[in-house]
Amino acid sequence: MTGYVPGRQPHHKNGDRSGVPARTPAPSKPRSSPARANPAPRITALGGGQGLSASLSALRRLTSDLTAVVTVADDGGSSGRLRAELGVLPPGDLRKALAALCGDDDWGRTWSEVIQQRFTGSGDLGGHAVGNLLIVALWEKLGDPVAALDWVGRLLNVQGRVLPMSAVPLDIEATVRGHDPEHPGAVTAVRGQASVAVTPGTVQSIRLVPEEPPAVPEAVAAVREADWVVLGPGSWFTSVLPHLLVPDLAKALVETRARRLLTLNLAPQPGETEGFTPQRHLEVIADHAPGLAVDAILVDERAVTGGAFGQADLDGLEKAAERMGAALVLGRVARTDGTPRHDPELLAAAYDRIFRTHGRIGPWR
């Protein structure tokens, strides 16, 4: 693959392609062509961090027509430093998505490892990931975050496309009850993704700063043109929910003709969702996006039958899914080593079953 989806061109401001070498795209194929009796589905996956990487590692086994729409609110580590110093989007989650879409050949494996490699030492480069610097360098050269990510994708020969959900850096501000252990009933505003992710107390809701940020047009189009939109797994408040707070993206999620799949995490996340039941995860989604309907919700059966969530109320979970318009799908998608991580092959098999069972009959439109 070329690293960009045939027929889709990188976005350039005001049509200006100066400084960008010309390329001739492969001709796009009609999606409803009779010759394509059983084409792979067009999938758009939303999220960030390790959760999105897990989903992409599974989905790339099922289709090459895959787009990742990534959160841009990280303010910690290498991403936070680059963001603060240069005013750029945080590149870390975008880098992880690109690494997850690298090929399984020597070229793909090598580049996946290279862009994830971090410099050691205590100097200015210490802690920075190579991929973060590469992405930021292309952003500065091209002045267009989408075009730059397309060029990185071509270099890495990724299977699919990676897009930021917004072209402006965002902050997450959470309303937290009990942030101060000495005042467990007090409600506090906690700002910053890194702080929200580890906050003590109970996160009740989040908002984005600035409010109502602009969505990247290509991300909106990817949601509207998909056959399936996959949301989650991932850090619930800092990777999954932010997409629902970008107005144009949220509108596209509600209006798209695509089927929508929500993947539940394998365990509550310390700090961010500590003590949450599976039902509470769904309630949080519904609270932040009351107009969003979902077609299927994938849950690891071991996680809710004595695993990380304990013995969950399956009847209550099913009713919570029904309130969102979704079928509850139980499957085995976790690694067998006991860690709360998704197994790419098991997750791919579960996704495939859902796409076949809950998808539209006949060819993908």
> For 40-83, how does the pLDDT look when each residue is reduced to its tens digit (9 = 90+)?
899 999 999 999 999 999 999 999 999 999 999 999 999 999 99
Which uninterrupted H or E stretch holds 319?
helix 314-323
Q: How far is CA 268 from the centre of its chain?
A: 18
Query: Cα dist. 345→55, 90, 234, 283 in Å?
Result: 10, 29, 18, 29
Cα three-residue angle 240-243-249, rounded to 5 degrees: 150
Tell which residue, 330, 221, 226, 212, has the closest CA to residue 278: 330
pLDDT of residue 147: 97
Residues in the chain: 365
Place of tokens 């289709």: 63
pLDDT of residue 16: 43
pLDDT of residue 35: 40
What values do phi and psi take at 339, rounded to 5? -85, 150
pLDDT in tens, the chain (365 residues): 333 333 333 343 344 433 333 433 333 333 333 344 457 899 999 999 999 999 999 999 999 999 999 999 999 999 999 999 999 999 999 999 999 999 889 999 999 999 999 999 888 898 899 999 999 999 999 999 999 999 999 999 999 999 999 999 999 999 999 888 888 889 999 999 999 998 888 999 999 999 999 999 999 999 999 999 999 999 999 999 999 999 999 999 999 999 999 999 999 988 889 889 999 999 999 999 999 999 999 999 998 888 788 888 888 899 999 999 999 999 999 998 888 899 999 999 999 999 998 865 333 33
pLDDT of residue 38: 52
Q: Residue 190: what residue type?
A: V
User: What are the extents of the domains in the chain?
Assistant: 38-358
- β pairing state of 305-307 and 310-311: antiparallel
Residues near 127 by beta carbon (within 8 Å), at least 6 away in sequence: 77, 78, 81, 118, 119
Asked if 31 and 360 touch (Cβ cutoff 8 Å), the reply is no
Q: What is the CATH number of domain 38-358?
A: 3.40.50.10680
Burial class (CB in 10 A: 0-12, 13-18, 19+), 11: middle
Give the DSSP letter of residue 20. Answer: S
Burial per residue of 326-341, b for 16 or more beta-carbon CB atoms within 10 angstroms, e otherwise: bebbbbebbeeeeebb
Q: How far is CA 340 from the centre of its chain?
A: 18
Asked if 70 and 163 touch (Cβ cutoff 8 Å), the reply is yes
Place of tokens 């299927």: 296
- β pairing state of 259-263 and 228-231: parallel
Largest Cα–Cα distance in the chain? Answer: 67
Tell which residue, 131, 206, 151, 196, has the closest CA to residue 175: 206
Query: Cα dist. 43→20, 57, 222, 353 in Å?
Result: 28, 13, 8, 15
Q: What is the DSSP string of 279-297?
A: HHHHHHHHHH-TT---SEE
Residues near 49 by beta carbon (within 8 Å), at least 6 away in sequence: 71, 93, 96, 234, 235, 238, 239
Query: Cα dist. 192→69, 128, 186, 262 in Å?
Result: 20, 20, 19, 25
pLDDT of residue 123: 86
